[in-house]
Amino acid sequence: MSEKLQKVLARAGKGSRRELEKYISAGRISVDGKTAFLGDRVEGTEQIRIDGHIVVLKDKDDDLCRILMYNKPEGEMCTRKDPEGRPTVFDRLPTLEASRWVAVGRLDINTSGMLLFTTDGELASRLMHPSKKVEREYAVRIFGDVNEAMLQTLRAGVKLEDGPAKFQKITYRGGEGRNHWFHVVLSEGRNREVRRLWESQDVQVSRLIRVRYGDMEMKRQLPAGGWTELNLKDVNYYRKLVDLEPETESKVKVDEKVMDNAKSRRIRRSVKKHQHRHQQATRRRR
């Protein structure tokens, strides 16, 4: 049975379906030597190339869905390579042989916190799509005077340059002077949406941390720059959330419920080693 071209390529780990649709529209993908078009379907036996490079396809029955939770530090780019040599969120991730990690959404360079990666492009696409209404929660430090009228406006909705937007929930978490912490929830991931919503009320976001995606929160003992692979139960939570069939296998042997101190220390040591290597590489380039 045939499948949409972008779906087959997403399963091969070449990006989300939305990204791949852009590749197709730009004429970057060919099927059996002919330029592909949106709407094309394939059987899986064709020779498919992206930018001239042959794609190794995966059989849908053999593909294993994996998910990483990554604690993104400020200063890292959500891109595979940065022309200025700045660190990226992909630098620290484990190497894959027959596929690649796909980021579930993006966090800008000044935003930290929970970022998911998966080998399943279809899962990534669904988790990001506004129609699935998957909640994202952020801890936000605001500089400026905030009153109840402003909060009501942000809950009711404001018009941004790319359309109306609002927070589904705003919870005050304390502060002093003109610095105050709030937790906010929304169910879409437009570019800099949290910052732009607050800026519409003439206040400044001085710190932004994603703390939850869906019902799953960032693991408290996961250090900045560290990653951990989700167990089968957690993988299937996200798959069920967006109406995908459950997985029956996992690369994670033990279904840990809480990250213990020993594992947290190992991750911290690994992060420090990576930082040291990156600093040395930066000095050599200079």
Q: Which residue's entry shows tokens 């594992």?
A: 263
Q: Which residues of the chain have pLDDT under 50?
A: none
Q: Where in the chain is the domain with CATH 3.10.290.10?
A: 3-54
Name 208's bridge partners: 140
**The one-letter amino acid at 171:** T
Task: Determine how many CB atoms are found less than 10 A away from the CB of residue 281.
Answer: 10
CB 157 within 8 A of CB 165: yes
> Given this model, what pLDDT does residue 258 score?
58
Query: Rounded to 5 degrees, what are φ and ψ at 234?
Result: -70, -35
Radius of gyration of the chain (CA): 21
Distance CA 235, CA 247 (A): 8
> Given this model, what pLDDT does residue 251 score?
78
What is residue 35's three-state secondary structure? strand
> Given this model, what pLDDT does residue 49 score?
96
Instruction: Name the fold adopted by 3-54.
Output: 3.10.290
> How far is Cα of residue 207 from the mean position of the Cα atoms in its chain?
19
For 22-61, write each residue's pLDDT tens digit: 999 999 999 999 999 999 999 988 999 999 999 988 766 5
Which percentage of the chain shows pLDDT scores above 90? 62
> How far is Cα of residue 249 from the mean position of the Cα atoms in its chain?
23
CATH classification (class only), 67-130+216-285: alpha beta
CB 187 within 8 A of CB 136: yes
Check 108, 145, 162, 255 and give the catalytic one.
108
> Given this model, what pLDDT does residue 272 score?
74
Distance CA 115, CA 117 (A): 7
Active site residue 108: yes
Instruction: Sort strands 112-118 and 204-213 into parallel, antiparallel or unpaired.
Output: parallel
Q: Where in the chain is the domain with CATH 3.30.2350.10?
A: 67-130+216-285, 135-213
What's the CATH number of domain 135-213, 3.30.2350.10, 3.40.630.30, 3.50.50.60, 3.30.70.2750?
3.30.2350.10
> Given this model, what pLDDT does residue 5 score?
94
